[in-house]
């Protein structure tokens, strides 16, 4: 997405021009959904031959006495189904008409089967490149793993609440049911909900490719390719601030909220999701919410926006059913995202306010709109839903990297949203000296970078707030492996900043600052999430606010 107004140039801008040019070039060339105009040559086998082969293998799989033949039968069945699916998806007509031309029919959509008419594309999962996720996670079994794609709207264009930009990927598995004497029936299983198919009255595990939908989403969505512009021009991307549900909200499942950090997007967790998705216990008990926000704004302001979006999402969730699992929410914050999370679950009292102001809020000579922003950002009530929080490489005491020369220069290039500049920072920070009745010089506009400095007022104030005892906290900290623990660092955040007490556990993993992409971090997160399922705590264990 190209900006429609010039970049605000400052003396340091020439240093960052190559960086900006590279960011803009990354926006060119929108990816395309795989299409099939004609049947691939390898799949041009008579349909009758393929259905007969599938039927023969199906009969073997239906007999427990022939269990020793099952591996070969499954391989033959899957190969035939893959070729038949190529014939089913290619060419003119509807899904039903193409299925009929093959001598087959399609099962009606229900809770376990997707409605093909609602998809904009459907293609084999094997056609998706998933190398950027690390290890490709698959499950051996019956059928052909597929990716379904349903378009939403591009980045920056309004869409239904909690719906991810660009589109929704669906993990599906196609199987051709050869039971009975009629035409074989295509089943397009919602693989995230269904683990087995029935063959001759017996359950057979369904094949799955857990990595393909995740990888395909990030190939189609350009949130991850706009990280530099996201920080330098946060106003351009405020429309994308919000929570994205990866599946329709389910009251029976616990929300796992993932909050990314500076110069990042929700794609910071794509490796984490790749490791969690194959786990049956995770799919049964958890649902993922991704929080996205422009990372150029001061983290204290982004924290306010996070709470606003969380309250909207929780209100929507309560409208969809009971909130017992909503009140067992787990939140994971990476890097600066951990500051958003920590401040949002902690009652601030007047600590943040006192860091900036020395007069009661009603005595400040500012607009009521600015007064409201100050209340929401510094004198707020914490989120009541989270029960467990996981910090990943979080700079609780700031990061020395924020004071480096290049960081200072980048901070000066950030063009803050007008709402912050006009209604919050310009009035309450730049003119702070006048508000307090003295001649203090104007304070430079805070940004995400300079408010991460160890000496920043917001960081120092946060350090005064104890972690609430009603929430279980965990830390996962990166170590580059220089043999200097506990004087170690992940390259951006030193251990002395990411270490915090009291926490239920602290795990140091061999990683740079990209801790969510570390396999050991994923294993630790799995351990924590399993532990959470055993936690008997409920709402009635919270301190009462009144008698």
List, for residues 313-355, the tens digit of each pLDDT value: 999 999 999 899 999 999 999 999 999 999 999 999 999 999 9
Average the pLDDT over 517-525 and give the result. 97
Q: Which of 183, 214, 245 is the last residue in one of the domains?
A: 214
- Confidence (pLDDT) at 224: 57
Q: Does residue 108 form part of some domain?
A: yes
In this structure, what DSSP letter does residue 424 have? I
Cβ-count burial of 333 within 10 angstroms (0-12 exposed, 13-18 middle, 19+ buried)?
buried
Contact call for residues 149 and 125 (beta carbons, < 8 A): no
Are 423 and 333 in the same domain? Answer: yes
Are 54 and 181 in the same domain? Answer: yes
Q: Does residue 9 form part of some domain?
A: no
Q: How far is CA 341 from CA 202, 338, 377, 416, 445, in A?
A: 47, 5, 13, 22, 23
- Confidence (pLDDT) at 237: 55
Cβ-count burial of 505 within 10 angstroms (0-12 exposed, 13-18 middle, 19+ buried)?
middle
Q: Does residue 50 form part of some domain?
A: yes
What is the number of other CB atoms lying within 10 angstroms of the CB of residue 353?
18
- Confidence (pLDDT) at 538: 45
Are 250 and 192 in the same domain? Answer: no
Number of domains in the chain: 2
Contact call for residues 133 and 270 (beta carbons, < 8 A): yes
Q: Does residue 22 form part of some domain?
A: no
Are 375 and 413 in the same domain? Answer: yes
Record the tokens describing residue 398, joined without a space.
């700031």
Are 188 and 286 in the same domain? Answer: no
Contact call for residues 348 and 379 (beta carbons, < 8 A): yes
Record the tokens describing residue 285, joined without a space.
């008990």
Are 173 and 52 in the same domain? Answer: yes
CA angle 194, 196, 197 (to 5 degrees): 110
The answer to which of 179-183, 433-437, 475-479 has the lowest mean pLDDT is: 433-437
CA dist 61 and 65 (Å) reads 9
CA dist 301 and 414 (Å) reads 15
Average the pLDDT over 78-84 and give the result. 98
Are 395 and 483 in the same domain? Answer: yes
Are 192 and 234 in the same domain? Answer: no
Domain extent, residue 241, equals 223-536
Q: Does residue 428 form part of some domain?
A: yes
Query: Which CATH number covers residue 334?
Result: 3.40.50.1820
Are 174 and 244 in the same domain? Answer: no
Q: How many residues does the chain have?
A: 547
Strands 329-334, 505-510: pairing is: unpaired
Q: Does residue 34 form part of some domain?
A: no
CA dist 89 and 186 (Å) reads 12
- Confidence (pLDDT) at 476: 97
Task: Please tell me the number of Cα atoms within 13 Å of 476 on its side-chain side.
Answer: 28
Q: Does residue 102 form part of some domain?
A: yes
Record the tokens describing residue 270, joined without a space.
């794509």
Sequence-separated (6 or more) residues with CB below 8 Å from residue 157: 165, 239
Query: Over the chain, what is the mean pLDDT?
Result: 83
- Please give, one letter per residue, the 3-state secondary structure of 71-133: HHHHHHHHHHHHHHHHHHHCCCCCHHHHHHHCCCEECCCCCCECCHHHCCEEEEHHHCCCHHH
Are 156 and 268 in the same domain? Answer: no
Are 445 and 495 in the same domain? Answer: yes
Are 466 and 515 in the same domain? Answer: yes
The residue that leads in pLDDT, 358 or 520, is 520
Closest of 117, 124, 78 to residue 99, by C-alpha: 117
pTM of the model: 0.85
pLDDT band per the 50, 70, 90 thresholds, residue 367: confident
- Confidence (pLDDT) at 296: 74
Phi, psi (rounded to 5 degrees) for 401: -60, -25
């Amino acid at each position: 997405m190209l900006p429609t107004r010039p970049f605000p140039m400052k003396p340091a801008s020439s240093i960052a021009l190559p960086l900006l040019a590279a960011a803009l070039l990354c926006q060119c060339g929108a990816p395309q959904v795989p299409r099939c105009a004609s049947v691939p040559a390898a799949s041009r086998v008579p349909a009758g031959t393929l259905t007969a082969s599938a039927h023969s293998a199906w009969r073997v799989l239906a007999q427990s006495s022939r269990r020793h033949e099952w591996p070969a039968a499954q391989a033959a069945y899957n190969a035939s189904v893959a070729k038949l699916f190529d014939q089913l998806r290619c060419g003119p007509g509807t899904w039903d008409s193409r299925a009929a031309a093959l001598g087959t029919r399609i099962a009606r959509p229900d809770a376990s089967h997707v409605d093909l008419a609602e998809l904009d594309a459907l293609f084999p999962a094997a056609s998706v490149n998933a190398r950027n996720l690390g290890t490709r996670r698959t499950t051996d079994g019956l059928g052909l793993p597929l990716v379904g794609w349903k378009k939403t709207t591009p980045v920056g264009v309004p869409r239904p609440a909690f719906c991810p930009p660009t589109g929704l990927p669906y993990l599906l598995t196609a199987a051709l049911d050869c039971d009975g004497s009629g035409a074989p029936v295509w089943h397009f299983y919602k693989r995230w909900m269904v683990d087995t198919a029935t063959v001759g009255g017996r359950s057979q595990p369904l094949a799955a490719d857990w990595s393909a939908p995740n990888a395909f989403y990030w190939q189609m969505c350009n949130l991850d390719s706009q990280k530099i512009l996201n920080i330098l021009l946060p106003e351009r991307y405020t429309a994308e601030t919000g929570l994205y549900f990866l599946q329709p909200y389910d009251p029976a499942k616990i929300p796992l909220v993932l909050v990314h950090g500076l110069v990042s997007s929700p794609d910071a967790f794509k490796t984490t999701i790749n490791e969690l998705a194959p786990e049956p216990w995770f799919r049964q008990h958890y649902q993922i919410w991704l929080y996205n926000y422009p990372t150029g704004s001061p983290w204290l302001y982004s924290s306010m926006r996070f709470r606003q979006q969380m309250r909207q999402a929780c209100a929507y969730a309560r409208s969809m059913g009971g909130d017992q699992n909503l009140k067992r929410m787990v939140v994971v914050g990476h890097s600066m995202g951990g500051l958003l999370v920590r401040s949002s679950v902690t009652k601030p009292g007047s600590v943040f306010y006192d860091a900036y102001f020395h007069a009661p809020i009603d005595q400040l000579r500012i607009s009521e709109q600015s007064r409201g922003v100050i209340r929401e950002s510094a004198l707020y009530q914490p989120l009541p839903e989270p029960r467990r929080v996981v910090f990943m490489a979080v700079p609780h005491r700031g990061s020395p990297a924020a004071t480096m020369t290049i960081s200072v220069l980048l901070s000066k290039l950030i063009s803050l949203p007008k709402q912050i500049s006009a209604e919050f920072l310009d009035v309450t920070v730049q003119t702070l000296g006048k508000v307090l009745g003295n001649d203090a010089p104007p304070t430079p506009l805070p940004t995400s970078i300079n408010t991460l400095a160890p000496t920043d007022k917001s960081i120092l104030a946060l350090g005064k707030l104890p972690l609430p005892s009603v929430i279980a906290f965990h830390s996962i900290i990166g170590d580059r492996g220089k043999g200097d623990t506990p004087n170690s660092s992940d390259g951006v955040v030193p251990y002395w900043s990411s270490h915090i007490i009291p926490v239920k556990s602290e795990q140091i993993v061999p990683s740079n600052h990209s801790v969510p992409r570390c396999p050991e971090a994923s294993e630790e997160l799995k351990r924590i999430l399993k532990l959470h399922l055993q936690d008997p705590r409920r709402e009635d264990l919270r301190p009462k606010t009144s008698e």
